[in-house]
Amino acid sequence: MERNVTLDFVRGVAILGILLLNIAAFGLPKAAYLNPAWYGEITRSDAWTWAILDLFAQVKFLTLFALLFGAGLQLLLKRGKRWIQSRLTLLVLLGFIHGLFFWDGDILLAYGLVGLICWRMIRDAHDVKNLFNTGVILYLIGIGVLVLLGMISGGATNRSWIPDAANLQYEQFWKLKGGVEAISNRADMLGDNLIALGAQYGWQLAGMMLMGAALMRTGWLKGEFSLAHYRRTGVILVLVGVIINLPAVVAQWVLDWDYRWCAFLLQAPRELGAPFQTIGYAALIYGFWPQLARFRLVAAVACVGRMALSNYLLQTLICTTLFYRFGLFMKFDRLQLLAFVIPVWAVNMVFSVIWLRFFRQGPLEWLWRQLTARAAGVSLSNTSR
C-alpha cells in the first residue's frame, strides 16, 4: 500500500512538537511542566516562554498525536481483531518498560490502554457522524471531570505544584543517581498516571482517537478534500483555539499561577481549545501541501513520522543521557532548555533519513510488527526491514 506522505509529515510534526514541552519535563522538576512559577517566583523570560508555548504548543501536539493514533486504528481494522489486540498489548508492555525503567513522562502506556478500548468502538461504529460525535462527548466529559476536580480541590497549594527545597533536592538526587531509587519513584508516578488516566485524561484521549478515526473514515485525513477547504478550515480552527485559550493564559499570569485556579480550572480552556488548534494545524498542512512538499526539510520530517515510535524513544535516550547522566538537570531555565530542542530534532531527522534509505521501517517499528505477527499467529509475507 502506498504511503500517505502528508500524513507521515503531520505525524512527524506531532513527534517533534511534543519535545517542545517534554524538554522542560526532562530538564526541570516535575512541577515545572505546568507551573512556570514552580520555584515560588518567576523571571519575565520564563513567563513569556511559558505563555507562548501554552498558547501554541502545550497539549496541542499530544492531541494531534492522539488524533493520528485513532486514524491509525481505523486503518488497522482490516488486519482483524487478533492483530490489533496483539499490537496494542505490546505497546502497553513497551510503555510500561519505558515509564518504569527510563522516563516518567511516558505516553505509550496510556495510548495502548485507551486504544484497546477504542478500537472496538471504532469497529462497531457504522455511522461516521455518530463516531465523531461520540468522540466529542467523551472529550467533553474529560474536561468536565477536570473542572469538577478543580471545584472540589482545597485552597492550599499542593507540593506537586510548588515543591519545597527538600522535595526538589530529593527529585534531583534520584534522577541523577538512577538505579532502584529511580525505579521506585517512577513506579509511584506510573501508578498516579494510571489513576489520572482512568479518572480524567483517558476520556479526552479516547475522544481524540474516535475523532481521528472518523476523520480518516471520511477521507479528510487522506487529503481527499479541496485545498481551499483545508486552508479555510485551518485558519478558522486555529483562530478559534487561540481565542478560547488566550484568556486563560492571561488569567493564569494575573493570578500568579495560583494552585487551585491554574492547576485545574484554568487548564480547561486550553484543553477545550486544543482540538480546534490541532485539527486546524493538520488542515493547514494539507491545504498548503503543494508548497510544503517542495522542501527537503519537509521530506525529512515525513521520515520522522514514518519512524514515530523509534524517534519518540530516541528523544528519551538523548535527553535522559544529557540531563541525568551528564548532570544537566535543573541547570537551565525554560527558555534556555529550548536550545536543546533543535539539535535533538536534527538527530531525529538525520537518523530517520539515513535509516529509511536502507530499510522500509524504523528499527522499533520493524520489531513491533514482527512481535505482533508472532503474538497474533499471523505469517508475514515479507519480514525484511
Residues of the chain with pLDDT > 90: what percent? 86
pLDDT at 347: 98
Q: Is residue 246 part of a domain?
A: yes
Residue 42: per-residue pLDDT = 87
What pLDDT does residue 155 have? 59
Summarised one tens digit per residue, pLDDT across range 139-195 is: 999 999 999 988 887 655 677 788 889 999 999 999 999 999 999 999 999 999 999
Q: 345 in a domain, yes or no?
A: yes
Virtual torsion, Cα 167, 169, 173, 176, nearest 10 deg = 110
* Structural domains in the chain (count): 1
Would residue 383 count as lying in a domain? Answer: no
How far apart are the C-alpha atoms of 242 and 175, rounded to whole Å? 36
Q: Specify the pLDDT at position 231.
A: 98
What's the mean per-residue pLDDT of the chain?
Answer: 93
Whether residue 129 contacts residue 145, with contact meaning beta carbons closer than 8 Å, is answered with: no
Q: How far apart are CA 252 and CA 369, in angstroms?
A: 44
The terminus-to-terminus CA distance of the chain in angstroms comes to 16
For the cut 60, the answer to whether the pLDDT of residue 20 exceeds it is yes
**Residues 42-99 pLDDT 10s:** 889 999 999 999 999 999 999 999 999 999 999 999 999 999 999 999 999 999 999 9
From residue 89, give the alpha-carbon distance in Å to each of 110, 125, 275. Answer: 11, 22, 27
Q: Does residue 381 lie within any of the structural domains?
A: no
Q: What is the Cα–Cα distance from 323 to 172, expressed in whole angstroms? A: 10
| Helical ranges in the chain per DSSP H | 5-27, 44-56, 60-76, 81-101, 108-124, 128-152, 165-177, 179-196, 202-217, 227-254, 259-263, 268-287, 289-292, 296-306, 308-320, 334-337, 341-358, 363-376
Q: Are 234 and 39 in contact (CB under 8 A)?
A: no
Residue 13 CA to its chain's centroid (Å)? 11
**CB distance 108 to 94 below 8 Å:** yes
How large is the average pLDDT for residues 254-282? 93
- pLDDT score at 264: 86
pLDDT for residue 2? 63
Report yes or no on 321 lying in a domain.
Answer: yes
> Quick one: cell of 238?
486555529
Q: Please give the grid coordinates belonging to residue 264.
A: 485545574
In a domain, 237, yes or no: yes
Asked if pLDDT for residue 261 goes beyond 90, the answer is no
| pLDDT at residue 361, rounded to an integer | 94
Range of the domain at 31: 5-376
Are the CB atoms for 237 and 275 separated by under 8 Å?
A: no
Which cell numbers hold the place of 6?
502528508
Tens digits of residue pLDDT in 216-258: 999 999 999 999 999 999 999 999 999 999 999 999 999 988 8
Assess whether pLDDT exceeds 50 at residue 384. no
What was the pLDDT predicted at 93? 97
Dihedral (CA of 62, 65, 286, 6) sign: positive
Structural domain includes residue 385: no
- pLDDT tens for each residue of 290-316: 999 999 999 999 999 999 999 999 999
Q: Which residues contact 362 (CB under 8 A, 6 or more apart)?
A: 306, 307, 308, 309, 310, 311, 352, 355, 356
Whether residue 98 lies inside any domain: the answer is: yes
